[in-house]
Structure 1
Amino acid sequence: MIVKTLGRCDHGDTVAAMRAFTDARGPDTPDELWLCEHPPTFTQGLAGKAEHVLDAGDIPVVPTNRGGQVTYHGPGQVVAYPLVDLRRQGIFVKEHVFRLEQAVLKTLAEFGVTGHRVAGAPGIYVRLDDPFGHAVLPPRPPGPGQFDGLGKIAALGIKVSRHCTYHGVALNVAMDLSPFSRINPCGYAGLPAVDLGRLGVSTDWATVAARLGRRLAAQFEPPPGGTPSPP
C-alpha cells in the first residue's frame, strides 16, 4: 500500500480525486492510503437526513456519496482514506470496516486509550469516565441508553465502486469539538464527541497520522501465500 500524507486539503477536491483514482484504477493498480485533514466541513452521507443538521452556521454542509449520516471534519482531526481493491484482498465490505476499526483501536492503544465498538453504530467510542481502563464494554442494544457514558472519537463511512473502496475513517486528535453540538453526530442526538486531547493525551496531528497510517497499511498487507481468489 502506498501511503500519502496530503496535509490540509479541501474536502470536495479530495473526494473528486478519490473518485477519479477509483474510476481509473485497474486490477494491478496498487492500493493507496491518503492521510489528511480538512477545513471545517459538515459532510452528509447517503443516509443523511436534513433534520440531523441542527445549526450549521457558517460551516458548509456538503453532500457526499459515502455511507452513513452527518459528521464533522475540521483541523486537528486525522482523516484516513484507504483506496483498497477488495477483490484483490479477498474480503467483503464487512471485513473492510472491521479492519478500519481495528486499526483505530490499535492506534488508540499506543496512547494508552481503550476504544470500543458499539454494535450497529460504526466507529470507535471511549468510556468518558475511564478511557484508559481495560474493562470490556457489555453489549448495548439500540435505543435509549445505547451511548450512555460514551464519547465518539472516530467516525467511519465508506463508498465501494467496482469492488474498490474510498472514503474511510476520521480520528479526533486535538480539535474544536463545538461544531459537533450543531449536529446529531452520525444521526444520534446528544452523542458527545471527544478527542485525544480531552482525554489527557498530549500528542499532535503528525504523530497520530503516522501511527494510524502504519496501522492501516498493516491491515492490508498481502496475505501469506500471495493474493487469494476473488470472493
Structure 2
Amino acid sequence: MTDAPRAPRPPATLRWMGRVDYEPTLAAMRAFTEARTPDTPDEIWLCEHPPVYTQGQAGRPEHLLDAAGIPVVQTNRGGQVTYHGPGQVVAYPLIDLRALGIFVKEYVYRLEHAVLKTLEGFDITGHRVPGAPGIYVNLADPGGHAALTWPRPEPFQGLGKIAALGIKVSRNCTYHGVALNVDMDLKPFQGINPCGYASLQTVDLATLGVRTDWTTVAQRLGDRLVSHLG
C-alpha cells in the first residue's frame, strides 16, 4: 500500500508586526525556525525597525564607515552591512524550501521578482545586477523599460539601490529576508558601503517621486511574496 498524497500546503500567512526592535525580531525568527516541523505553516513577517546597522555573517568591518551612534548588530545572514530604519518595509519570509520544492537560487530569484513586481505597480522599473543581490533602479530613467546591458565597466554607475536582500537557510528553512525603501531618512546609508559596495547610492520610492505610504507598499510586497512563495 502506498502512502496517500499529502495535502497541498496552505499559502504563507502574512504577519503584521509594525515597528519592532531588530534584535528581539531576529531572536524570534531563529526560534520559529528551530522549532518548526514539516507541518509548520509558512509565515511572512512584515515590519519596520528603528535605526540599526546589521552586519552579515562574513561582513567586513571596513564597510562600516561611521555608525554615528546608530547600533550595530552582528547577524548570521549572508551579505555585508546594511541599514534598517523607519520608512522601510522589511519582509521576513519563513519558508520551508523543501516543502515548496525549490532550492536557494530559485528562492532568491522569487524574492527579487516579488520586489520587481511591487515596484512595477508604482511605475518604477527595477533591475538586477549580476553578483550583487538586491534590486536597483536607473536613476536617469527610473520608469523606463530599457534593460541594462552587460558587461558594464562600472556595474553601479547611474544606479541606485532600492531594495537589499540577505537570507539565512537552516535545515532547508529560510529566515531574514528583503528590505524595500519607501520614504526614509537616507543619510545613515552614507555611514556604510551599502552591502559592501563603496559609493553605491541608496534611494527610496520618495526620492523617485512616488508618493505612497508604508502600509500600501507593505501590503503589495506581502501579497507578491505570498503569491511567489506558494
Question: Equivalent residues in 2 for 1:127-142 (5 A)?
Answer: 127-140=138-151
SS of residue paired to 2:107: helix
Amino acid at match of 2:228: Q
Match of 2:53 in 1: 42
Counterpart AA for 2:132: A
Contact 1:118 1:140 in 2 (8 A): no
Report Cα offsets for 1:37-65 as digits up to 9, x if no partner: 00000000012011000000110110000
Shift of 1:93: 0.5
CA contact (8 A) 1:118 1:124 kept: yes
Match of 1:227 in 2: none
Quick one: distance in 2 between partners of 1:47 and 1:98?
22
Aligned residues: 219
Q: Which amino acid aligns with 2:200?
A: L
> TM-score normalised to the size of structure 2?
0.94
Other structure's SS at 2:164 match: strand
Cα separation, 2, equivalents of 1:139 and 1:21: 40
Q: 1:226 — aligned with what?
A: none
Q: What SS class does the counterpart of residue 58 from structure 1 fall into?
A: coil
CA distance in 2, matches of 1:49, 1:57: 18
TM-score, with normalisation over the residues of structure 1? Answer: 0.94
Question: Which residue in the other structure is 2:182 paired with?
Answer: 173
Gaps of 5+ in 1: 222-231
- Matched AA of 2:108: V
2:161 is aligned with 1:146: no
- Pairs within 5 Å for 1:180-191: 180-191=189-200
Query: Does residue 1:193 correspond to 2:202, yes or no?
Result: yes
Contact 1:53 1:183 in 2 (8 A): yes
Match of 1:30 in 2: 41
| Identical-pair percentage | 71
Match of 1:9 in 2: 20
Per-residue deviation, residues 136-177 of structure 1 (Å, max 9, x unmatched): 111245xx6110000000000000000000000000000000
For residue 92 of structure 1, what is the aligned residue in structure 2? Answer: 103
**Alpha-carbon distance in 2 for matches of 1:139, 1:171:** 25
Aligned residue in 2 for 1:112: 123
